[in-house]
Structure formats: structure tokens, C-alpha cells
Amino acid sequence: MSDQNPVFIPGPTNIPDRLRHAMLVQTRDHRAPDFVETLAPVLEDTKRVFGTATGRVITFPASGTGGWEAAISNTLSPGDTVLVARYGMFSHRWIDMCERHGLDVQIIECEWGTGAPAARFEAALSADKARKIKAVLVTHNETATGVKSDIAAVRAAMDAASHPALLMVDCVSSLASMPFEMDAWGVDIAVAGSQKGFMLATGMVILGVSQKALDHMESAKLPRTFFDFRDMMNSNAKGGFPYTPPLQLIYGMRESLKMLFEEGLDNVYARHTRLAEGVRAATRAWGLDLVAQSPDLYSDTVSAIYVPKGFDSNALTDRAFTAYGLSFGIGLGQMNGRAFRIGHLGMLTDVMVLSGLAGIEMAMADLNYPIRLGSGVAAAQEHFRASRPAILKSA
């Protein structure tokens, strides 16, 4: 029964039927001369989603974590310094990966619930007179805390310090759901995955890569084989892959791009904002607090919500699952037990979101939360009624 319900985890997302069907293709020969007709337009069209005309798109069969590894191993050398702020589980895990790769990681510790600290980046970069810092790593949308960071502000900080470091951005849980402007923000490597905004199965990491990053690749000495951009680009240029491609995902990606462009990227972003605001209205009605500390930080793909003192968020997500067959994100890292997460990304409608809010309210009521049953749902309903998109307004 529970597999009939949408999931409310912040990715992998619900897969629209249209994309499930698109991925349901029989094996085709990836060494056949016509494979290029499938692959090349997908790589080209994905550039629009990254917001790049000058960069290129490189994919590997991997999850988002593989993309982090591809980003650092293709551009950096052992002992290089990277500057990273830690404000959630995913920024933490990228830091951990850098350390395990023998990089010298200069960490800016931030409170969870805040975002990338542009002013502190600028101070650190200005102090780096010897230009030891080779890359600044930023998580655009910290899925653990529901915090969106201002990448343009990070770029401005780097420019203000006249620092030549590469800018690498994790947009795993934001790309294709929230605006992303690789060229305008001067991003050198952007890392995304198939299973979030693209609404596909997990298994394809998708990177946007600038020419500056490709220039660094020539001298980068970190070991790499599977994730070597050069092998992938050489094969792609001949219309192929250096190894077996995730064919079904490439077909899925082709259809996903069609869906995104049919809706219009701006409409996709506006829909995510609207749904997120409905969830935030519900949160206020329950009298609960978001982990994100201020409205400019609110993510439009995931809301992390503190449970009241004395309650255990794991008991809440367990209750939602066992009693109602509904999945919500658990609290990660230092948020475990203290916060739960509502994912609102991918192909969701108002009514789907309302069903999730109704379900978590029932679980809260079962556990004697100090909330009134229906209060969050009603607040979201009011928001959705008042903000119907033009296409539905004539009804």
C-alpha cells in the first residue's frame, strides 16, 4: 500500500510516469554509430539548465558523491589547499572527501541553519597572499538543513579579493528546481545528480565544467581513472563513452529535459517556490521553527523543521512511515532526533504536498504534539488557493 504514496524525502524524488516509461527501453548498442544522436543533444541541452553557454556538461555513471570526487580529482593535486565552509551534513561530507584525498582543507565552521559566509570567504581569500587556496567549495542547497546559499555573493567575495581559485558548487539538490546561473556566477564546476530535480532514477552524476577548470585539469595530479574528464571528453567527442553508459538514464534525461523545457524553467522554479511557501505556511501554523535561520536562506526544495523540545524527530518519521506509509527525511548529523525534513522537489502538485502535510500532522497528533489537527493543511490550502498559477485561474 505505502508504495502508492508519494515520497516526501528530499530526493530521490517521485518519478513521473512519463519518465519511468522513458527509462524503460530495451538495451541498445552504445558502440553503434547512432548512439551519438542520443547522447550529444542531451549533453548540449543540459547546459541550459546549468545556465552555461561557455561551459560543457560531463556525466558519469555514479551518484552525486562521485561528482564531488570527479570535481576535485580532475583539477587539484595532493597538498593543494581548498577553502570550505561547514554548515550541514553535505558540506561536511565533501570536506571529509577532500581530507581523504590528501588535500589541505581550510574549514570555516558555521552554525547549522546558516549558509555560505561570503564575508568570511572574502577575509580568508584576502589573507591568502601566497595564493595557496586553489578552490572554494560551496554547497548551494544544504539538504540537511534546508538552507540555500547565495553563490553570486561568494563569487563577488572571490572577485573582491581578486583571488584566482576555482569555484566548485554542489547543486545536487537545487539544479532543475531552483535557479542556477553557472556563467553569471562564475562557477567552474557544478555537481548535480539524476535523482533530484531531473526526477529520474539515481545513477548519473551530471557536471557543468568551465574552460578554466579544464585548463587546471592538465596539471592536476590527484589520481583518477574512472572519473577522468579527459577519457570521457575524448570518447564523447567520438559519440561514445569510455565504458558502458547508463543508457536508460540517458534516455530518461532526454525526456526529463523535454518536460522541464515544456513547463519552462522559470515556471519550474516558481512552482517549487510556491510549494515550498505552502510547507512554510504549514510550519508556522504548527508553531514550529525551520532550521534555516532567515527567509533569504529558505530552500525551495527541502524544509528542515525542528520538533518541539522533548520530542524525538525519529519517532515522528517512524510513526509517519509505520502508521501511514509516508516517508519524510530524518534529521542528519547534529539534527538527528531534533529535526525532520519535508522534501518538496521534483514533480509535485499542490494536492500531493497537502497529502504529505496531512500525513505528518496525523503522526504528530498520534505522538501528542502541541498542534491542532488540520492547522498546517489549512494554512497551506489558503496559500495554494491564493497563489494559483495563471493557467488554473480561469477555473
Q: Would you count residue 170 as binding ligand PLP (CB under 6 A)?
A: yes
Least CB distance to ligand PLP at residue 238 (A): 28
Task: Decide if residue 143 touches ligand PLP (CB under 6 A).
Answer: yes
- Choose which of 6, 8, 11, 253 interacts with ligand PLP (CB under 6 A): 11
Which class for 295: exposed (0-12), middle (13-18), buried (19 or more C-beta within 10 A)? exposed
Residues 294 to 333: which contact ligand PLP by CB under 6 A? none
User: Between 74 and 139, whose beta carbon lies closer to ligand PLP?
Assistant: 139
Q: Contact region for ligand PLP (CB under 6 A) — 165-173, 270-278, 349-357, 363-371?
A: 165-173
Name which position in 35, 50, 90, 251 contacts ligand PLP (CB under 6 A): 90
Strands 133-139 and 81-86: parallel
- Closest contact distance (angstroms) between CB of 373 and ligand PLP is 31
Minimal distance, residue 170 CB to ligand PLP, in Å: 5
- The nearest distance, CB 181 to ligand PLP, in angstroms, is 18
Contact 42, 94 (CB under 8 A): no
Question: What is the phi/psi pair of residue 82, to 5°?
Answer: -125, 145
Applying CB under 6 A, which part among 123-131, 135-143, 220-228, 327-335 lies near ligand PLP? 135-143
Distance CA 6, CA 14 (A): 6
Strand partners, 304: 341
In order, the DSSP letters of 334-383 are: GGTTTEEEEE--SS--HHHHHHHHHHHHHHHHHTT-S--TTHHHHHHHHH
What is the Cβ-side half-sphere exposure of residue 234, based on CA atoms within 13 angstroms? 7
Is the distance from CB of 7 to CB of 325 less than 8 angstroms? no
Across-strand partners of 86?
109
Q: Which of 104, 159, 156 is nearest to 132 (CA)?
A: 104
Q: Binding to ligand PLP by residue 173, rule CB under 6 A?
A: yes
User: What angle is formed at CA 332 by the lines to CA 326 and CA 336, rounded to 5 degrees?
Assistant: 85
Using the rule CB under 6 A, is 61 a contact of ligand PLP? no
- Cβ partners under 8 Å of residue 63, min gap 6: 193, 195, 202, 203, 205
> What is the closest distance, in whole angstroms, from the C-beta atom of residue 341 to ligand PLP in the complex?
10
Cell triple for residue 184? 553569471
Nearer to ligand PLP, 139 or 210 (CB): 139
Q: Which is nearer to ligand PLP, 206 or 347 (CB)?
A: 206
Smallest gap from residue 178 Cβ to ligand PLP (A): 12
Task: Choose between 46 and 141: whose C-beta lies nearer to ligand PLP.
Answer: 141
For cell 533569504, the residue is 296
Q: State how far the Cα of 72 lies from the Cα of 77, in Å rounded to an integer.
A: 9
Q: Does 139 bind ligand PLP (CB under 6 A)?
A: yes
- Shortest Å distance, C-beta 141 to ligand PLP: 6
64 forms part of the interface with ligand PLP (CB under 6 A): yes
Question: Is residue 145 at the binding interface for ligand PLP, with CB under 6 A as the rule?
Answer: no
Question: How many residues make contact with ligand PLP (CB under 6 A)?
Answer: 12
Asked if 245 touches ligand PLP (CB under 6 A), the answer is: no
112 binds ligand PLP (CB under 6 A): no
Beta-carbon-side half-sphere exposure of residue 64 (alpha carbons within 13 Å): 25
Give the residue nearest to ligand PLP (CB).
Answer: 64
CB of 90 to ligand PLP, least distance (A): 4
The end-to-end CA distance of the chain, in Å, is 33
Asked if 65 interacts with ligand PLP (CB under 6 A), we say yes
Which listed residue (193, 197, 240, 329) binds ligand PLP by CB under 6 A? 193
Q: Which of 89, 321, 299, 196 is nearest to 313 (CA)?
A: 321
In the complex, the smallest distance separating the C-beta of residue 277 from ligand PLP, rounded to whole angstroms, is 21
Grid cell 532526533 is found at 337
Residue 194 is a binding residue for ligand PLP (CB under 6 A):
no
The grid cell for 203 is 545513477
Interaction site with ligand PLP (CB under 6 A):
11, 63-65, 90, 139, 141, 143, 170, 172-173, 193
